[in-house]
Amino acid sequence: MDERIPGWLITLTASLSLFIMVFLIYFLVQEGIPTLREVSLKELLLNFDWYPTEEPPALGMAPLIVGSMTVTLLSAVMAVPFSFLIAIFLSEVAPSWFREILKPALELLGFLPSIVLGFLGMVVLAPWLQERFDLLSGLNLFNASLLMGAMIVPIVASLAEESLQAVPRELRDACYALGSTRWETIRKVVLPAALPGLLSASLLGIMRALGETMVVLMAAGGAALVPISIFDPVRPLTSAIAAEMGETPVGSAHYHALFFAGLLLLAMTLGINLVSMWIEKKGKERWMA
């Protein structure tokens, strides 16, 4: 009897959190779908005018979607190679005492509140960028992506390092026994073996960037337009939701549209998640073979 209690408790907590998740999704769908009564899906996704408080409202989310994607992609492009280098250094090159210090330090960096980064971008990075590149404003795609990159480096690097560590010792030893140098071992054995893990580490970082709000709200400039240069301002979905939700009349088309934006974000994250799961599965299959 007593032994069964922990089992029950775990089942109960697990189903409770599952229930909350389902409820959240239900709520998002319930509040988001009514937008489609006022505007067609095509207009929502493909129209480039976001003037939500006009009468009638212009609810084209295309610039917001593009904004989210460009910030996320650019930050990933900047952060992922850098993170991999850190991971390789930590796992394969650094002496173990140094690793013991650097790894926790890196993980600590990951806890830096994003509002601190956003503030840094606003008061330090933006004026410098403007001065340096002679721009209209330093609050732009590049600024936000750089900060976001800095934010996801600790996450990606730490996860990537773990997947490098998971490569069996024997593989390396065998490679050294054949007379390979350290660099050859890393390049030809360790990296290919850890590839699925490295990819899912990057995808987790990308997911984090996609959902990040504070940094883009403060540093991305907030103009709802499709960027042509990396120094153009953007307005990602997250910052539109954060900035506009508080002032929106409950039940209006604008209100529902913001929930719809939340649904879009959820769908994108879900997509990335599925890809990452698929990669992991592929990796495991290869291991078995």
The site for another protein (CB under 8 A) is made up of 49, 51-54, 63, 122-123, 126-127, 130, 136-139, 217-218, 221-225, 233, 235, 239, 242-244, 246-250, 254
- Residue 118: both structure tokens together: 């956003």
Is 87 or 148 the residue whose CB approaches another protein more closely?
Answer: 148
CB of 228 to another protein, least distance (A): 11
Q: With the CA atoms of 274, 275, 276 and 280 taken in that order, what torsion angle do they form, in degrees rounded to the nearest 10?
A: 100
Task: For residues 204 and 198, give the distance between their C-alpha atoms in angstroms, rounded to a whole number.
Answer: 10
Give the total residue count for the chain. 289
Contacts of residue 8, defined as CB under 8 A and 6 or more positions apart, other chains included, come to none
Cβ 8 to another protein, closest distance in Å?
A: 19
* Rounded (10°) CA dihedral 43, 47, 51, 52: 30
Q: C-beta of 26: minimal distance to another protein in Å?
A: 23
CB of 137 to another protein, least distance (A): 5
Whether the Cβ atoms of residue 212 and residue 115 lie closer than 8 Å to each other: no
Could you tell me the smallest distance in angstroms from the CB atom of residue 267 to another protein? 24
SS3 48: coil
Minimal distance in Å, beta carbon 224 to another protein?
6
Report the 10 Å Cβ neighbour count for 237.
Answer: 25
Q: Is 141 exposed, middle or buried (0-12, 13-18, 19+ CB in 10 A)?
A: buried
**What CA–CA distances, in Å, run from 116 to 75, 214, 223, 276?**
17, 9, 22, 30
Residue from 182, 163, 24, 175 nearest 87 by CA: 163
Residue closer to another protein by CB (options 113, 127) is: 127
**CA-wise closest residue to 74 among 144, 153, 125, 159:** 144
- What is the nearest approach in angstroms of another protein to the Cβ of residue 85? 33
Nearer Cβ to another protein (92/232): 232
